Amino acid sequence: MKIEQDIALAVRLAEAAGQAIRPHFRSGLDAERKADASPVTIADRAAEEAMRRILQAEVPQDAIIGEEFGNEAGTSNRTWVLDPIDGTVSFIAGRPIFGTLVSLLVDGWPVLGIIDQPILGERWIGASGQPTTFNGKPVRTRSCRELSEAMLATTGPQYFDDHQGDHFMALAARTDHRRMMMGGDCYNYGLLASGQIDLVCEAGLKLHDWAALVPVVEGAGGTMCDWNGDPLHAESEGHVLAIGDPARLEDVIEALACHH
């Protein structure tokens, strides 16, 4: 399939998820706890089911990995990775900074990604070889002359263990930490792609958390990698960096490692 066809399919998945999610936003619905204690709602499940139905009907040869319903084997080298609501805590709290993530991997490498915010009507689309768009218009990350000028974001300190937290705080100390932001999940990566923030650092992410983000960030001129600076692929451990200005990559890796 051409990438344009894949993008069109991914957009249909995001739209189907949004239709399932919107009726539940700020509706007072209850959340359950999964085995890892993270919350899940009827909206998460309904959105993923809607996306899976489309994929099963149109690309049955492709594998599917979803946060709520696990893995479905395929016969091609292509895998669709779905996170129906990335940022369920924000969703439950009524904060419109969660997102639906749709990604296509080929041989384990992300080639297409969508960050869709169905309440605000905001959508970032990234695809290999194409500029990232936000609501149809190209976007670019911004330059950052010094790490000390960088605006850093992370979902929250509770997601780092003590060792990871030491490394994160070492990095934070080298940035413009008075402007550091907590919370945001996938929305932070969209803001980075649009040139609003400079750096996102997280640990313990699963494939469905980050796969869609890579094409979005890189198509906007940024870079994504693990904490060692290595490119992200399906076997990566989930220690994730997004850097708006690739010129700051070595500075970020050095700052993160300074507690070794």
pLDDT at 11 over 60: yes
Closest CA to 212 of 124, 149, 119: 124
pLDDT at 260: 41
pLDDT at 118: 98
pLDDT at 87 over 90: yes
Summarize the confidence of residues 118-137 as an average pLDDT.
97
Summarize the confidence of residues 115-128 as an average pLDDT.
98
pLDDT tens, residue by residue, 152-187:
999 988 888 888 999 999 999 999 988 999 988 999
Summarize the confidence of residues 93-99 as an average pLDDT.
95
Please, are residues 190 and 96 in contact by the beta-carbon 8 Å criterion? Answer: no
Summarize the confidence of residues 78-92 as an average pLDDT.
95
pLDDT tens, residue by residue, 179-210:
999 988 999 999 999 999 999 999 999 999 99
Ramachandran region of residue 122, left (φ > 0), alpha (ψ -120 to 50) or beta? beta
Global pTM value: 0.94
pLDDT at 38: 67
Q: How far is CA 208 from the centre of its chain?
A: 8
pLDDT at 12 over 70: yes
Summarize the confidence of residues 91-96 as an average pLDDT.
94
pLDDT at 180: 92
Mean pLDDT of the chain: 93
Summarize the confidence of residues 12-41 as an average pLDDT.
84
